[in-house]
């Protein structure tokens, strides 16, 4: 039977030789930063110096955000139950969704779809916000439970401007931020997910890689949390350690039916 071969264009492995996108791993180890190597993997070509610096900034920006986000919390709970570190880190990664970290993907999708339209940015921002508000949908990449202005967004945009990655997607994100405040009367800042979504869009990345960016950035944080929980805390962290109260039915009896 003539079976088609499974073709991959990422990495060629031969005895004693590994080439990623055609470049020898030994040369990459000497000449590329981690961010630069990630760029090569995802885009298929070597980054320019500016692209490499931008990648580094993106990957550092989301490296950790304390114990409270779902991902670090989940990693700590799973390791405290007596599981290996790989299970703990996987549990953290599984929490990444549209509202945590994964907002990069959907924000980049929204920005890429809307920025294509032939309209000036200010009007696009207005229509985009109106559209989402009328459908009672949240615009992913905006809002933060703690930061009124996300310091990571400010720095990422500053670096992107310096390196010439401030294009139509970043402009649209800024227009959406001010329009959201005008239409909802709430301060919903561009959060780090939104900022990464805008910058990777201006760098020409497909929105489908959005969650990948967050995972690559946050896994070191999850490992640090799991390791700290494992080596410094008592096993089996319980809900009793946290603030909660019972809000269900009062005590009752089962009557014979
Ligand atoms: C991040 C987030 C969960 C923080 O939420 P929060 O500060 O706890 O705020 P709440 O979920 O209580 O929302 C408060 C109000 O703002 C609105 N709101 C919050 N984020 C919004 C958004 N991105 N777009 C539109 N409205 C939003 C909510 O609908 C709510 O309105 P209401 O008071 O009329 O019900 C929230 O802003 C959000 O869902 N953002 C989108 C997802 C995202 O970007 N996640 C990445 C976080 S780094």
> What is the per-residue pLDDT across 179-189, written as a single tens digit (0 to 9) for each?
999 999 999 99
Residue 65 alpha carbon, nearest atom of ligand 1: 48
- Report DSSP state, residue 235: S
Ligand 1 within 6 A of CB of 103: yes
Ligand 1 within 6 A of CB of 78: no
Q: What are the start and end residues of each CATH 1.10.230.10 domain in the chain?
A: 50-238
Ligand 1 within 6 A of CB of 141: yes
Check residue 244 and give its pLDDT: 73
Q: What is the mean pLDDT of the chain?
A: 95
The pTM assigned to this predicted structure is: 0.91
Largest CA distance in the chain: 77
pLDDT digits (tens, 9 = 90+) for 42-56: 999 999 999 999 999
Ligand 1 within 6 A of CB of 142: yes
Q: According to CATH, what is the number of the domain 50-238? A: 1.10.230.10
Give the whole-angstrom CA distance, residue 123 versus residue 100.
29
Cα dihedral sign, 80-81-83-86: negative
Return the residue whose CA atom lies nearest to atom 8 of ligand 1.
Answer: 145
Ligand 1, from 97, 138, 198: best to mutate by most atoms within 8 Å of Cβ?
138
Helix, strand, or coil here: 11?
A: strand
Check residue 2 and give its pLDDT: 64
pLDDT-derived band at 241 (thresholds 50, 70, 90) equals low
CB 88 within 8 Å of CB 78: yes
């Amino acid at each position: 039977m003539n079976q088609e071969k499974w073709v991959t264009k990422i990495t060629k492995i031969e005895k004693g030789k590994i080439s990623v996108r055609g470049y020898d791993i030994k040369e990459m180890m000497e000449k590329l930063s981690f961010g630069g190597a990630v760029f090569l993997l995802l885009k298929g070509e070597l980054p320019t110096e500016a692209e490499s610096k931008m990648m580094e900034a993106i990957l550092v920006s989301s490296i950790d955000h304390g114990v409270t986000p779902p991902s670090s919390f989940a990693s700590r709970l799973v390791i405290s139950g007596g599981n290996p570190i790989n299970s703990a880190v996987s549990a953290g990664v599984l929490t990444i969704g549209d509202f945590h970290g994964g907002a990069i993907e959907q924000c980049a999708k929204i920005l890429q779809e809307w920025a294509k339209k032939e309209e000036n940015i200010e009007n696009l921002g207005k229509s985009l916000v109106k559209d989402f508000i009328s459908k009672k949908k949240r615009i992913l990449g905006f809002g933060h439970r703690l930061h009124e202005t996300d310091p990571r967004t400010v720095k990422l945009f500053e670096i992107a401007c310096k390196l010439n990655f401030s294009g139509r997607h970043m402009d649209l994100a800024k227009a959406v931020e001010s329009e959201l405040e005008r239409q909802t009367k709430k301060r919903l800042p561009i959060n780090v997910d939104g900022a990464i979504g805008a910058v990777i869009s201006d760098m020409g990345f497909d929105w489908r890689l959005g969650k990948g960016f967050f995972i690559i950035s946050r896994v070191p944080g999850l490992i640090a949390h799991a390791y700290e929980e494992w080596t410094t805390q008592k096993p089996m962290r319980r809900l009793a350690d946290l603030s909660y109260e019972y809000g269900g039915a009062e005590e009752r009896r089962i009557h014979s039916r």
